[in-house]
Structure 1
Amino acid sequence: MKIGFVLDDRLDKPDGVQQYVQLVGSWLNSQGHEVHYLVGDSPRALQKNVHSLSKTINVRFNKNRMAMPLPASKKKIALLLKHEQFDVLHVQMPYSPLLAGRVVASAPTRTTVVGTFHILPHGNASSIGTKLLGVVLKNNKKRFDGFLSVSSAAQVFAKSHFGIESTVLPNVVDLQLFSKGIAIKKYNNKPNIVFLGRFVERKGAQFALDAYKQLLELYDAPLRLILCGDGPDKAKLTQRANAITHHHKDIVFTGFLKESEKSNYLATADIAVFPSTGGESFGIVLIEAMASGSKVVIGGDNSGYTTVLGDQPNTLVHPQDTDQFAQRLLLLLKDNKLAGQIHEQQQNLVKKYDITYVGPKIVAFYEKHLHNSAKKDVKNV
């Protein structure tokens, strides 16, 4: 099959949707399919099969920074689709009417169009905005042959905001790649609590610091907090850290990590913490931490992370409840038996998110709707 992934944003950002698109695309290529990327402005546009269709501008949405496409050329889109003759267009949702919407509207009848819902709105403004978007795209979405969601939470969002029924196929991880993570030797002299994520309010690094401060008063042995990432809140987080320890000697800021560095830091974690307050449709970073060998992975009690951790109540915390957060960390540091049980459960859990397990299900979804599209074409002859 010739498959085109459609994404309004840049392809080169280290965000969850881009990771999904690139990992699934890479796996499809390895299986003999031809994969293209129809995306917003991207430095990678000079690479083979990456088609940059629109300039983008940075905006704040869902308590995060993201790129929004400017109007894409309908002529450029039409020429590309005519030249490539895609079997499948796989659109990342929700999407803008200015790029992906124009691709969908221009798709030839022979091309099967499917979509995957990735995000959840965080707060009333984002919720209202996505509902309005659903109204704007009411006719456009009729061109789709099928829809996926990365979690049950995203599935509910698709139904409530867009009136769309979808099939849940989870986010994916390259288990073989992340399992190569090696714990960093210089940090093996004391237990490590590791946070990895963007330094924005929604991701909750500030709550990890607050819980760590309280934990230092409860735990009678040396500890270390490692904060991996970068973002607009870094200066505020550094000030917070300075208030906890002199020159934050037990708090490490790694800065931005390359993809190749992530697994080593996650493998170093006695507890990997992801205290996001919401806006998560899934928890790909939770899966990456498990795949890397973090001893215990815990996350904020939001609908997306519950998709992954819901069967392990000791791994969910209310990030803003500092007492509960600190007590949960204390429990997992002191109760080795419980921590070991959770680790074993999480190592088994992560297998069902491996690309080699989920990938064939995505292909089967394509093939099902290719067959249905072919039948529709016959009826229209």
Structure 2
Amino acid sequence: MRIGVVCPYSLGTPGGVQNHVRDLAEALLSAGHEVSVLAPVDDFDAIPPYVVSSGRAVGVPYNGSVARVTFGPRTAARVKSWLADGDFDVVHVHEPTTPSASIIALWSAGGPFVATFHTWQVRSRAMSAAAGLLRPALEKIDARIAVSENARSMMVQHVGGEAVVIPNGLYTDRFKGSPRREWQGADGTISILGRMDEPRKGLGVLMNAVPALVAARPRVKVLVAGAGQADEARRMLPADCRDNVLFLGAVDDESRADMLVGSDLYVAPHLGGESFGIVLLEAMAAGTPVLASDLPAFRQVLSGGTLGELFEPGNVDDLTARALRLLDAPKERDQLRAAGLAAVPRYDWSVLLPELLAVYELVSRGGRGSSPAAPYGRRSAARRRADR
């Protein structure tokens, strides 16, 4: 098949949607399909050959983050040209309500279109206000996908219709790294991965827990990986704790796997705004026990706490107590490690790609999948039962 994929966010900025789009493109290419990805681009020297630029991105605050998107007449012209040149069997747009290339693609052609909804919030005023304006474009979507039940419920509330739940995927075999001696703590190693300049990722919560962690385990090591400036986080630490925290900056795939494999505990102290939890799956794929904020998305990925420990979001004392208890309980960590390794294969691209291809093939034949009666509308119900 000839497949066009539209990402609304800059591929040069780390993020769950961007990572998903890149992995999806690689999976489709490996399966022998022709793939072109349209996305905003900041660094033209670093883009893969299958990416076409929709223009340079600008930062727009959204959902506790800064989304780097592109829009305007020049972007519209590039989108139309890409669609005409591609002659695609199906176009897969991500985050179609975002003011960027995805919604422009829906405005610019007749389809067939598949759309994936990634975002979750309790209520989105922006989405509610824009629903009427966007409806003519959204009605062109032949099949809707949500990455989680939370994202699906938000889509139903604000957009209407139905969607199949196909979660974000990962290549599980890419997380078989090797521990690095210089990253190991004699009293345990804790890791966190996320953008340091986004408060909702909760780095400050973990930094506030460090003094108590160090008091109980003086040689504990905390590894912090992710893009952004570490100065503010470092200033939060008392002087006698700073040697216990190692800021790694942005890491490549190999370093990320090495960090996770060498950790006794992965902490996800996010404060909200998460629709899924791909970082939890990455830790599980590496065999690392997970301690995460009790957010709806994280609770779903961790099966209510059976695949990882949950703590009250933003509660430093709760995080500290649970982290110290797990570090003192190697048998419990082994149980979490085994449970995570057993659960994570169902999120591998080898499992998810056939589900996506079934959607593509349906819409390319002229079928529509936005109603509950569609074949994968029933598949969504089956997946929901399996996830419980």
TM-score normalised by structure 1 residue count: 0.89
Distance between the aligned counterparts of 2:359 and 2:285, measured in 1?
A: 26
Q: 1:348, 1:49 → 2: CA distance?
A: 34
Q: CA deviation at 1:363?
A: 0.7
Q: How does 1:69-80 map to 2 (within 5 A)?
A: 69-73=70-74, 74-80=76-82
Shift of 1:41: 3.3
Distance in 2 of aligned mates of 1:374 and 1:329:
48
The answer to whether the Cα contact below 8 Å between 1:6 and 1:91 also exists between their aligned partners in 2 is yes
Q: Which residue of 2 aligns with 1:18?
A: 18
Q: Of 198, 209, 226, which aligns to 1:211?
A: 209
User: For residue 106 of structure 1, what is the amino acid of its counterpart?
Assistant: S
Q: Deviations over 1:265-312 (max 9, x none)?
A: 111110000110111110111111111232x11211112212211332
Classify 1:64/1:220 alpha carbon distance in 2 versus 1 (closer, same or farther; 3 Å): closer
Q: SS state of the match for residue 139, structure 2?
A: helix
Give the alignment partner of residue 82 of structure 1, picking from 81, 84, 101. 84
| C-alpha contact (below 8 Å) 1:228/1:253 kept by paired residues | yes
Distance 2:69 2:285 in 1: 32
> What's the counterpart of residue 311 of structure 2?
317
Q: Distance in 1 between matches of 2:202 and 2:255?
A: 21
Correspondent of 1:157 among 141, 154, 158: 154
Note the C-alpha offset of 1:93.
1.1
- Name stretches of at least 5 consecutive residues in structure 1 with no aligned partner: 376-381
Per-residue Cα deviation, 1:132-184 (whole angstroms, up to 9, x for no partner): 233321111010001111111111111112223111011101111122x1111
1:183 is aligned to 179
Q: What is the CA distance between 1:230 and its match in structure 2? A: 3.3
> For residues 235 and 75 of structure 1, do their structure 2 counterparts lie closer, same or farther at Cα, with a shift above 3 Å needed?
closer
| 1: CA distance, partners of 2:15 / 2:100 | 21
Deviation for aligned residue 1:26: 0.3
1:1-381 correspondence to structure 2 within 5 Å? 1-44=1-44, 48-73=49-74, 74-108=76-110, 111-121=111-121, 127-179=124-176, 181-188=177-184, 189-199=186-196, 200-217=198-215, 219=216, 222-231=219-228, 234-241=230-237, 243=238, 245-246=239-240, 248-294=242-288, 296-312=289-305, 315-373=309-367
> Match of 1:202, SS?
helix
Question: In the alignment, residue 238 of structure 1 is paired with which amino acid?
Answer: R
Q: Against the structure 1 CA distance between its residues 351 and 8, is the aligned structure 2 distance closer, same or farther, given a 3 Å change threshold?
A: same
How many residues of Structure 1 are paired with residues of Structure 2 in the alignment? Answer: 364
TM-score between both structures, scaled by the size of structure 2: 0.88
Unaligned segments of structure 2, at least 5 residues: 370-388
Secondary structure in 2 matching 1:298: strand
8 Å CA contact 2:94–2:117 kept in 1: the answer is yes
Q: What letter is aligned with 1:311?
A: G
Q: Any idea what the Cα deviations from partners look like across 1:33-68, whole Å, max 9, x if unmatched?
A: 001011123434875332212332112211112213
Q: How far has the Cα of 1:2 moved from its partner?
A: 0.6
CA RMSD of aligned residues (A): 2.2
- CA separation of 1:212 and 1:247: change in aligned 2, threshold 3 A: closer
Q: CA deviation at 1:102?
A: 2.1
Secondary structure at 2:104 match in 1? helix
1:53–1:72 contact (8 Å) kept in structure 2: no
8 A contact 2:10–2:69 mirrored in 1: no
3-state SS in 1 of match to 2:121: coil
Deviation (angstroms), 1:6: 0.7
Cα offsets for 1:345-377 (capped at 9, x unmatched) = 0111111111111111111111122223499xx
Deviation, 1:4, is 0.7
- Cα distance in 2 between the residues matched to 1:235 and 1:221: 23
Note the C-alpha offset of 1:101.
1.9
Distance 2:368 2:322 in 1: 54
**1:44 touches 1:50 (CA, 8 Å); kept in 2?**
no
Give the whole-Å Cα distance in 2 for the aligned partners of 1:182 and 1:317. Answer: 29
2:148–2:165 CA contact under 8 A, matched in 1: yes
SS of 1:119's equivalent in the other structure is coil
Confirm or deny: 8 A CA contact 2:8 2:95 kept in the other structure. Answer: no
Question: Does structure 2 conserve the Cα–Cα contact (< 8 Å) formed by 1:275 and 1:318?
Answer: no
Q: CA deviation at 1:197?
A: 0.8
Contact kept in structure 1, 2:12 and 2:43, CA below 8 Å: yes
**1:167–1:152: structure 2 CA closer, same or farther, 3 Å change rule?**
same
CA–CA distance in structure 2, aligned partners of residues 75 and 320 of structure 1: 45
SS of residue in 1 equivalent to 2:363: helix
Say whether the 8 Å CA contact 2:268–2:293 is kept in structure 1.
Answer: yes
Q: Secondary structure at the match of 1:222?
A: coil
Q: Deviations over 1:206-240 (max 9, x none)?
A: 111222322334x35631111112325x3221111
Q: Which moved more, 1:159-168 or 1:278-287?
A: 159-168
- Contact kept? 1:94, 1:119, Cα under 8 Å: no
Task: Calculate percent identity across the aligned residue pairs.
Answer: 27
**Aligned-pair CA distance for 1:72:** 4.2
Cα 1:339–1:84 shift into 2, 3 Å: same
